[in-house]
Amino acid sequence: MRIPLDYYQVLGVPMQATPEQIDQAFQDRLLQLPSHHHSPTTVATRRELIEHAYQVLREPDQRHAYDRRCRSLDTDDLIAQLDPQPVVPDLEITEQQLSGALLLLYELGDYNQVVRLGQPFLKGDPLDLSRPYTGSAAEADITLTVALAYLELGREQWQQQHYQAAATHLEAGLRILERSGLFPELQQQFQSELDRLRPYRILELLALPLSDSVGRQRGVLLLREMLSDRGGIEGRQDDRSGLGVEDFLKFILQLRAYLTATEQQELFEREARRPSAVASYLAVHALVARGFHELQPSLIRRGKDLLQRLLPNQDIYLELASCLLLLGQPAEALAALEKSQDQQSIAFIRRHSGNAPDLLPGLCYYTEQWLQEEIYPAFRDLGETPVSLDQYFADPNIQTYLDALNEELVVTPITPDEGTPPPPVTVKPSVAVPPPYRAPFPVVSLTAETLPLEAHQGSVPPPDVPSPTATVSSTSHTISPRTTTTRTQQRRTRDRRQRPRNGWLWVGGGVLLIGAGVLAQHYWFQPRLTTAPPPETPIAVATPTPVATNPSPDVPEMTIEVARDRLQAWQQIKAQALGSNFAIDNLEKILTEPALSTWRSRAQGLKSEGSYWSYTLTNLEIKEIRPLENNRVDVIAQIQEDAKFYEQGTLRSDISYNDSYRVLYTLVQDGNQWLIQRMQVLS
């Protein structure tokens, strides 16, 4: 077996080295030992090969012959021109010397040769006893050297900002170690490198052309894995990337420019079920974008439903007003507009309403600008697509859908209060709409239940997409995107001077500015390798114990058995009301206000749009019962359910889920029974 090793390289001297320099280099090489834990056998073999190189170079005749062979590689050399068969310098070794030769190649930085020569040996049958190293320490050394070569190749690719190529090398090295079951500390190092590399890979994969669906889907899956490891966008679990909560939010906002509207909708609707306020808000943008662009108002209605669930903790009445307007509900849109605290935007809308009796003309103009300047630019497949409310409302499919909505005249007014909402109000289905929108808007309010998880009650990118670039050092890794000004950014800057917009979304105890024109412009991914904050303290749940709630004599005492019976009844009625048969009237048997109005509206919305849920309760466990005043009681339960969502008869696997979640139910005495008044997911 021949190994491509240059004797001068083995000793670390140039071809012009004097005999004295060769002697000194030989002594120095013998004193240098491998930096990793190779076996004495491999170290001895390495020494033999160094001695062989020294023996050739220390003898004048052998060195002259060797030099002649080396010079034959230089096509400018006269001897090379006369030599018809140039020979590459190499070492002749036995198979027993392979581990030492690979170690020398690794020390010389020839990592590709290490992989090329070592991989075939490692892929051999481990039960083949004819292999010289089967089960020996030298076999472990070959495994170690090849893995280390993959590690260095991965780091080189990372340094060159080829993140997926870097991951390919790191994953190959990790597989070798896992297959052998050796060097657990080195395996951990490989995994650590891959974890820190993951956000870079996601950006690079999502920046691939849209035609590369396989590569981009891989990026989406990596993103989902990362979100799962963190516990969501706002999660504080350690995904080992080194990104804190704030940096991860910046990362999410940056990668939106690489995702299509459909990809964002599927991703953020899934995340909204955790629940997640940030994901819910971003899902609204995706739903509105798709609904308007694809002329599917049912998607806008789903976005409106998510917005309503964010009330009253966030001032998102401007977005809600625009959604209601697009659903042909100007009266409700203007009512939502009155609740907004964004006085600058209200003044803008008022200026563009002119002398109209209300703010509807200004809201129409504002909504069109909102779609053009803030919604569309956040999606890779929409970009600078023109927006026209005239064309939207003139579409016959839109009018047909809005006419269908007009059949239901009972609406539940929007209220930020936690108490019971006012009684239903009957409204007339016609409103005089000022120009330029002359088509009649049917005035109804339907809340489509698309995410019924009880949490909701409480690599050349396109021209306008910045390429992910990074500066990587040997000790730390930071991404610094290029500061290129795109046409979209220029347009946003121009129009932001004309139309004020402030979008604040409150998350936990802090404020995250994620909406209204700053989603992708100011927050760029600049991760810092810092230790992730400790996880949030979980909600303390005590061992379930029966409690006396002092109800009337005809009401059963609230015990674990009674609580379980009531919640099982709720799960069954929920499945009937939101299922294909829509037994909506049954909700009154288990719910009271405000939960009753909320779930009745969701069921009616599903029925109207031809969608439904199929639920299977797999487990229900009562965790704690807490007595309250006024014959009320809180019950904490762990729910495991399999929920499948059908849209127009087609199963939507992206919305369906099989989750376990913990819910706080508030039950209240009503006559001789307990009814559910509120519910909120805790985790």
d(CA 602, CA 597): 9
20-36 as b/e, with b when 16 or more CB fall inside 10 Å?
Answer: eebeebbeebeeeebee
Q: Sorting pLDDT into bands at 50, 70 and 90, what band is 574?
A: very high
Residues 648, 610 contacting (CB under 8 angstroms): yes
Residue 133 has pLDDT above 50, yes or no: yes
pLDDT given for residue 34 in this prediction: 79
Residue 85 has pLDDT above 70, yes or no: no
Residue 78 has pLDDT above 50, yes or no: no
Average per-residue pLDDT in the chain?
Answer: 77
d(CA 71, CA 79): 7
d(CA 563, CA 634): 10
Q: Sorting pLDDT into bands at 50, 70 and 90, what band is 555?
A: low
Q: Sorting pLDDT into bands at 50, 70 and 90, what band is 339?
A: very high
Note if the bond before 396 is cis, omega within 30 degrees.
no
Could you give the angle at which helices 360-370 and 330-339 cross, rounded to 10 degrees? 80
- The stretch 410-416 carries a mean pLDDT of 41
Residue 399 has pLDDT above 70, yes or no: yes
Residues 143, 182 contacting (CB under 8 angstroms): yes
d(CA 92, CA 66): 14
Per cent of the chain over pLDDT 90 is 45
> Could you count the other beta carbons within 10 Å of the beta carbon of residue 39?
16
Residue 155 has pLDDT above 80, yes or no: yes
Residue 91 has pLDDT above 80, yes or no: no
The three-state secondary structure class of 582 is: coil
pLDDT: which is higher, 209 or 628: 209
Q: Which tens digit of pLDDT belongs to each residue from 243-294?
A: 999 999 999 999 999 999 999 999 999 999 888 999 999 999 999 999 999 9
> Could you count the other beta carbons within 10 Å of the beta carbon of residue 191?
16
Enumerate long-range contacts of 424-432, CB under 8 Å, 24 or more apart.
424/597, 427/331, 431/330, 431/331
Q: Which tens digit of pLDDT belongs to each residue from 487-520?
A: 334 444 334 434 444 343 433 333 343 433 333 3
> Could you count the other beta carbons within 10 Å of the beta carbon of residue 181?
9
Q: Which tens digit of pLDDT belongs to each residue from 300-327?
A: 999 999 999 898 888 999 999 999 999 9
d(CA 677, CA 663): 13
pLDDT given for residue 330 in this prediction: 92
pTM summary value? 0.61
Per cent of the chain over pLDDT 70 is 73
pLDDT given for residue 139 in this prediction: 85
d(CA 517, CA 377): 9
pLDDT given for residue 445 in this prediction: 27
Nearest by Cα to 322 from 351, 356, 345 = 345
Chain centroid to Cα 118, Å, comes to: 37
- The stretch 552-578 carries a mean pLDDT of 86
pLDDT given for residue 554 in this prediction: 59
- The stretch 539-547 carries a mean pLDDT of 36
Region for 607 from its dihedrals, namely left if φ exceeds 0, alpha if ψ lies in -120 to 50, beta otherwise: alpha
pLDDT given for residue 402 in this prediction: 84
Could you give the angle at which helices 137-159 and 163-180 cross, rounded to 10 degrees? 170
Sign of torsion over alpha carbons 258, 262, 268, 271: negative
All domains of the chain in start order, with CATH: 2-198 (no CATH), 560-681 (3.10.450.240)
Q: Sorting pLDDT into bands at 50, 70 and 90, what band is 88?
A: low
